[in-house]
């Protein structure tokens, strides 16, 4: 239903999206996950037809968003990262205005407005002006406008950014309800948000697709290099440096703890248990070790790893 086919976007000298392809099948809710600056908004804006791609094709329901923009857009409900709301308008008034912009006939407009107000939990505040709404409720208004023309596809760019945990929980429930009769692409830079909502995940970092699949599949991919946690009496940089030199180590990152201790997280290239090697090497350097354990691979560790790699490979995407 949503198809990104080899999408590329250059902003002047910056390559923001680098040959990204993925699909969202009808009825699925797919999380589009990546750190800040990964290229999520740029990809989404190409998919929704708001930004021309430098190369590649975006299709919605089979319609090329560049060539058949009207048909493609009619299928999409889009909630941009910051929705242009009019603070002085009342909720009802704003939705009515959006309906007019979409060319909806009056009766249809009113019926749909009432439906989306109810669906998005805005009934109690429909006569309030937008500037008097909390951030969570403003996002509900943004979502309501995206649903107004009853599109089968929803593309939501960081819809829960800046909301409190209770509001995030309410949105999560709403997304699951909407997934019953919508195809949804939902972007976020926060893994737990996606983890609890999406059927599948597309991960992007430094403009490139880093992983794709169900959460279990991605967990298995990340499991190929198991993690080891090391706590040693050392400076964090020195510890990471020593560990990175060891054979079989894909990466090592460390942080300082209290009283001269540091903790490193090391990712192995394969399934080899590196603990003995680590213990020997650290004892050679004279660094005292107080903890050395294999950590069950988590999606979070994979995501952190991916984020760190982005910084190295794409310094422009800070
Ligand atoms: N209009 C623009 N002109 C130049 N560079 C841009 C423009 N918009 C985005 N970029 C750059 O393109 C890259 C991808 O940005 P994008 O906003 O798509 O990422 P994102 O994953 O949505 O991040 P965020 O969550 O921070 O919005 C970044 O390096 C960003 O600085």
Mean pLDDT for 252-256 is: 92
Residue nearest to atom 28 of ligand 1 (CA): 37
CA of 304 to the centre of ligand 1 (A): 19
Q: Is the CB of 317 under 6 A from ligand 1?
A: yes
* pLDDT attached to residue 317: 43
Poorest-pLDDT segment among 121-130, 141-150, 231-240, 299-308 = 299-308
Look up residue 168 and give its two tokens.
Answer: 């995030």
Across 20-47, average pLDDT: 93
Predicted pLDDT at 218? 79
What are the residues whose beta carbons fall under 8 Å from the beta carbon of 20, sequence distance 6 or more? Answer: 4, 6, 7, 8, 39, 43, 56, 204, 207, 208, 209
Distance 132 CA to ligand 1 centre (A): 30
Q: Judge if the beta carbon of residue 208 lies within 6 A of ligand 1.
A: no
pLDDT value of residue 183? 96
Q: Residue count of the chain, please give it.
A: 318
pLDDT at 318 over 50: no
Whole-prediction pTM: 0.77
Q: Which atom of ligand 1 is nearest to the CA of 43?
A: 18
pLDDT higher than threshold 90 for residue 305:
no
Please report the domains of the chain, with CATH numbers, ordered by start residue: 2-221 (3.40.50.300), 227-295 (3.30.70.100)
| Whether 60 contacts 215, CB under 8 Å | no
Structure tokens at 127: 């006569």
Q: State the first-to-last Cα distance of the chain, in angstroms, to the nearest integer.
A: 32
Between 192 and 212, name the one with better pLDDT. 212
Asked if residue 284 has pLDDT above 80, the reply is: yes
Testing ligand 1's pocket by substitution, the residue of 15, 39, 314 carrying the most ligand atoms inside 8 A of its CB is: 39
**Share above pLDDT 70 across residues of the chain, in percent, rounded to a whole number:** 92
- Is 311 a residue whose pLDDT tops 70? no
ipTM (interface predicted TM): 0.95
Residue 49 has pLDDT above 90, yes or no: yes
């Amino acid at each position: 239903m949503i198809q990104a086919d080899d999408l590329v976007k250059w902003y002047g000298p910056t390559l923001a999206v680098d040959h990204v392809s993925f699909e969202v099948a009808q009825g699925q809710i797919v999380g589009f996950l990546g750190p800040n600056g990964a290229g999520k908004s740029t990809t989404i804006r190409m998919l929704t037809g708001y930004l021309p791609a430098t190369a590649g094709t975006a299709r919605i329901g089979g319609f090329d968003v560049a060539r058949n923009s009207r048909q493609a857009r009619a299928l999409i409900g889009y909630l941009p990262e910051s929705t242009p709301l009019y603070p002085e308008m009342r909720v009802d008034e704003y939705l009515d205005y959006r309906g007019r912009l979409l060319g909806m006939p009056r009766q249809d407009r009113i019926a749909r407005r009432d439906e989306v107000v109810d669906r998005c939990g805005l009934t109690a505040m429909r006569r309030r002006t937008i500037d008097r709404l909390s951030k969570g409720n403003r996002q509900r208004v943004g979502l309501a406008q995206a649903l107004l023309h009853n599109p089968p596809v929803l593309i939501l760019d960081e819809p829960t950014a800046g909301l409190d945990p209770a509001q995030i929980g309410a949105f999560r429930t709403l997304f699951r309800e909407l997934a019953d009769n919508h195809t949804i692409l939902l972007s976020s830079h926060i893994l737990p948000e996606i983890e609890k909502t999406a059927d599948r995940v597309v991960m992007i970092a430094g403009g490139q697709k880093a992983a794709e699949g169900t959460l279990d599949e991605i967990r298995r991919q990340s499991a190929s290099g198991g993690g080891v946690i090391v706590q040693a009496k050392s400076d964090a940089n020195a510890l990471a440096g020593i560990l990175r030199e060891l054979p079989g180590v894909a990466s090592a990152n460390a942080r300082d703890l209290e009283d001269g201790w540091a903790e490193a997280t090391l990712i192995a290239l394969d399934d080899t248990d590196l603990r003995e090697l680590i213990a020997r090497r650290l004892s050679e350097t004279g660094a005292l070790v107080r903890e050395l354990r294999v950590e069950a691979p988590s999606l979070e560790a994979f995501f952190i790893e991916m984020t760190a790699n982005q910084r190295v490979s794409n310094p422009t995407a800070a």
